[in-house]
Amino acid sequence: MTFRNGLASLLRPEDSVLVLIDHQPYQLANVNSHEPQMVINNTAGLAKAAKAFGVPTILTTVIAERGGLLFPQITEVFPGQEVIDRTFINTWEDRKVVDAVKATGRKQLIIAGLWTEICVAMPAIQARGEGWDVTVVTDASGAVSVEAHQVAIQRMIAGGVNMMTWLAVAAEWQRDWARIDQAVALTKVITEHAGGSGIAYLWEQQLLNTPVPR
């Protein structure tokens, strides 16, 4: 196995492309590996982080006519963008999706979706085998059981796929807080979607802006 380490192995916004797969009502109804609202929150946070860093994001569903539309928390981040609807369970067998990814010219492929064991694992394993640098965002994905999620992660790791959480992806894109423009945008995402960290930041701002009593 080729180990993923060294500075060059870290994610870079200019080399990243994000694919969000099948965040739809039908799939969410049987997500049991995570609290469903947390999956929605984390995926929205990931989508907003991608937009903040200018990372191209491909949106795709499977038979949306029956499974439902992509969560509005995602499509609202990319108003007017086409959502590619597929019949293939494996996204990486859909030529339109693959062509859209290739058109970005990026090689760091980041994937999140429902369900982890099926609609995430299949494209991740195939793309990795074809030479892509693949990262799966585990907490913006979900499976029908905790076991299914964990086994899928083990299977993908064995295939050379990298695993991260959404906030770790955002931090790796940021890399340096001196990148002020991105830092301001990322701070807004953290405030909205990073739970206690966002609340702590708002509290910090409150304290900094509270006059010292005389």
Residue 150, domain CATH: 3.40.50.850
Is 182 within the bounds of a domain? no
Q: Model-level pTM?
A: 0.94
Does the structure show a pLDDT above 70 at 58? yes
pLDDT (average), residues 3-15: 93
Does the structure show a pLDDT above 90 at 201? no
The Cβ of residue 201 has, within 10 Å, a number of other Cβ atoms equal to 15
Q: Given 59, 111, 112, 119, which residue is catalytic?
A: 119
Nearest to 106 by CA among 98, 94, 116, 115: 98
Is 130 within the bounds of a domain? yes
3-state secondary structure of 121: helix
Is 194 within the bounds of a domain? no
Is 202 within the bounds of a domain? no
Q: What are the CA-CA distances from residue 157 to residues 3, 4, 27, 207 (Å)?
A: 11, 11, 23, 44
Enter the DSSP assignment of 178.
T
Q: How many structural domains is the chain composed of?
A: 1
Residue 83 among the catalytic residues: no
The boundaries of the domain holding residue 58 are 13-173
Does the structure show a pLDDT above 90 at 176? yes
Is 163 within the bounds of a domain? yes
Does the structure show a pLDDT above 90 at 2? no
Average pLDDT of the residues of the chain: 95
**Cα separation, 90 vs 121, whole angstroms:** 9
Q: What was the pLDDT predicted at 204?
A: 80
Residue 1 pLDDT class (50, 70, 90 cuts): low
Which amino acid, residue 25?
P
Is 212 within the bounds of a domain? no
For 2, the token pair is: 């080729």
* Alpha-helical regions (H) of 53-163: 64-67, 72-75, 95-103, 121-129, 146-158
Q: What was the pLDDT predicted at 162?
A: 97
